[in-house]
Every structure is written in C-alpha cells, then in structure tokens.
Amino acid sequence: MRSLREILSDAQNRGVAVGHFNVSDLTMLQAVPAAARELSVPVLVGASEGERAFLGTRQIAALVRALREQYDCEISLNADHTHSLAKAEEAVIAGFDSVVFDLSALPFEANAQQTKQAVEALKSRNPSLLVEGEIGDIGSGSEIHDRAPELARGLTTPEEARQFVEFTRVDVLAPAVGNMHGMLASMVGGSARKRLDIDRIRQIKAATGSFLTLHGASGTDSMDLCRAIGAGINIIHINTELRVTWRRALEDSLSAQAREVVPYKILPQVVESLKQVVRARLELFNQPQSAAPSELAS
C-alpha cells in the first residue's frame, strides 16, 4: 500500500479528496472499508480520543492492519482530535498513519508552540507519520446540536495559516472556513446545509501550499464540497452523518426483528446502511474537480 503522503499527493494531482470517516464500533469499521473497496478508492478511518478509549487504540490498529492484508485495499488510520502528546504517542506506537494534534482551543501562540514540539517528537518515532494541526474555531462534538455554536475564535485567515504551517512544520492544516463539527436538527432533516467560504480555502492553500483537511463536513452543501476540493481541500471528515445513520438503522433493525437477540442477525442491516452513506460521500469526493490542484501542491 502507498504511504498516506503518496495517496494525498496523487489525490491532489487528480483533483479529488480522500474521505475520512470516524468509527466508534465494528459496524462502522466494517462499513467504511467495504464502501471504499466497492469504489476502489483509498479511504481514511479516523478514531478520536473518545472513540479510541472505547474501541482500544491498539485494537483498532490491529483490525485495520488485518483489513488491509485481507482485502489489499488502501485504508489509512488517523488518530483524530488528539489533545495531548501522550495520547498522540500512544497512537503512533500502535501504528496509526497520521495524527490530528488539536490544540485549537488554546491561544494561537501556545497552539503553535506546542504543535511544533509535538511534530518533532512524533516524527522522531515515525518519520513517515503525517501530523495535522488545527487553527480557528469549528466547535466540538460530532452530534446533533440544539443551536448553532458560538465560534468565538472565528475563521482562519491566510496569514495565520501561513505562519502556523511555517512555524510548526505540520504536514496538514485543518482551517476554519465555515465548517462546524456536528449537525443542527435542521441539517439532519435536510432543510439546512453548511456553507463554506471557498475563496478563503483558495487563499489558505495559496498561502501555505500544504495539504488541507475539512473537518465537520456532515450536512455540508454538496456543491460546496466539490468547490472546496477544487480550491485545495485534500481530506474531508464525516462523522455525525454516520452516527445518525447508525442509530436509525439500529432502531429499524431492532423493531423489524422485535424478538431477535443474535447480534450478527441484527447488525448487518446497520452495516449496509452505513456503507450506503459512506459510498455516496466517497463518490462525491472522488469526482475530479476542474481547478488544477497540482498547481497548489505542497
């Protein structure tokens, strides 16, 4: 399998993005690679600190390794939203391909200083590891929010993005460009959509030349996602859409088989529903966009 850096460079040259899907359990961990295999595209499996605490950091890494070996598919593994060096090192030792070192809640200088130290420490353990840093405010919680969060630290400016990437030497930057973690109820129903600041993405790409991740993509307008890829986004994170699907599909399957107690008879419907959502997102992210991202390459 190619390295994650090679996968991202190739995707960038082709004007497509790599889909990143968070997993909390085995139904998700089955559905994500299954959808990617059907489409023959690379995929990123993500596990945040909370998801790793539940599934087990070493256990997820072992399962992903086994899936790669058995199916000969390009599944990369990302330690998503990691807030301490200790947790990041734990993931790197377990064999994760990338780490999102997220100190975006700190003031800019402290975030930059500690992220720089983390990049050095983590790469000394694994030089081919990709480290992502995050600036700006996109809220937290891949769940259904009652009201829009107040994003006090605001959108990322091209200049602070340039300074942050130059100083920390992160491989990937996660900016705030209109994106937001989680979904409002109106987004789950489909009557509202997140909208992105495409010009800002283009300017941040030009200022940094680095790979860019769009977090909080659940419920985002599909055309905006395509334009964002054309403007320089390389990785797109989806979590809440899967969680909503997981719950609905589980409820449906349980009520369709009210007396069933065998998990492997109840859960395949959940895997299938999740797979359809992942597949639809991967199809969108893998439609080549016309803006020539190779001109923007890092």
Return residues touching Zn ion (CB under 5 A): 215, 237
Of residues 46-65, which lie at the interface with ligand G3H (CB under 6 A)?
46
Which residue from 205, 215, 227, 279 is in contact with ligand G3H, where contact means CB under 6 A?
215
First to last CA, the chain: 21
Residue 137 in tokens: 């405010």
CA gap 77, 95 in Å, rounded? 8
Distance CA 93, CA 95 (A): 5
Q: Which amino acid is at 80?
A: D
Q: Which residues pair with 44 in a beta bridge?
A: 20, 76
Can you tell me which of 87, 181, 227, 275 binds ligand G3H, judged by CB under 6 A?
Answer: 181
Which of 4, 68, 59, 5 minimizes the C-alpha distance to 36? 68
Taking CB under 6 A as the criterion, the residue among 19, 42, 178, 182 binding ligand G3H is: 182
239 lies in the site for ligand G3H, by CB under 6 A = yes
Residue 93 structure tokens: 């030792």
Q: Which does 182 bind (CB under 5 to 8 A by kind): Zn ion, ligand G3H, none?
A: ligand G3H
* 240 touching ligand G3H, by CB under 6 A: yes
> Residue with the closest Cβ to Zn ion?
215
Span 93-122, contacts to ligand G3H by CB under 6 A: none
Strand ranges inside 107-214, DSSP E:
130-134, 144-145, 172-174, 183-184, 211-214
In the list Zn ion, ligand G3H, none, the entry touching 22 (Cβ below 5 to 8 angstroms by class) is ligand G3H
217 lies in the binding site for ligand G3H (CB under 6 A): yes
Residue 101 CB, nearest approach to Zn ion (Å): 12
Smallest distance, ligand G3H to C-beta of residue 139, A: 9
> What one-character-per-residue DSSP string does 180-208 give?
-SSEEHHHHHTS--B---HHHHHHHHHHH
**Residue 230: which of ligand G3H, Zn ion, none does it interact with, CB under 5 to 8 A by kind?**
none
Residues 12, 34 contacting (CB under 8 angstroms): no
User: Cβ of residue 273: shortest distance to ligand G3H, in angstroms?
Assistant: 16
Residue (205 or 281) nearer to ligand G3H, CB: 281
Q: How many residues does the chain have?
A: 298
Does position 216 bind ligand G3H by CB under 6 A? Answer: yes
Task: Assess contact for 66 and 33: CB atoms under 8 A.
Answer: no
Residues at the interface with ligand G3H (CB under 6 A): 22, 46, 80-81, 142, 181-182, 215-218, 237-240
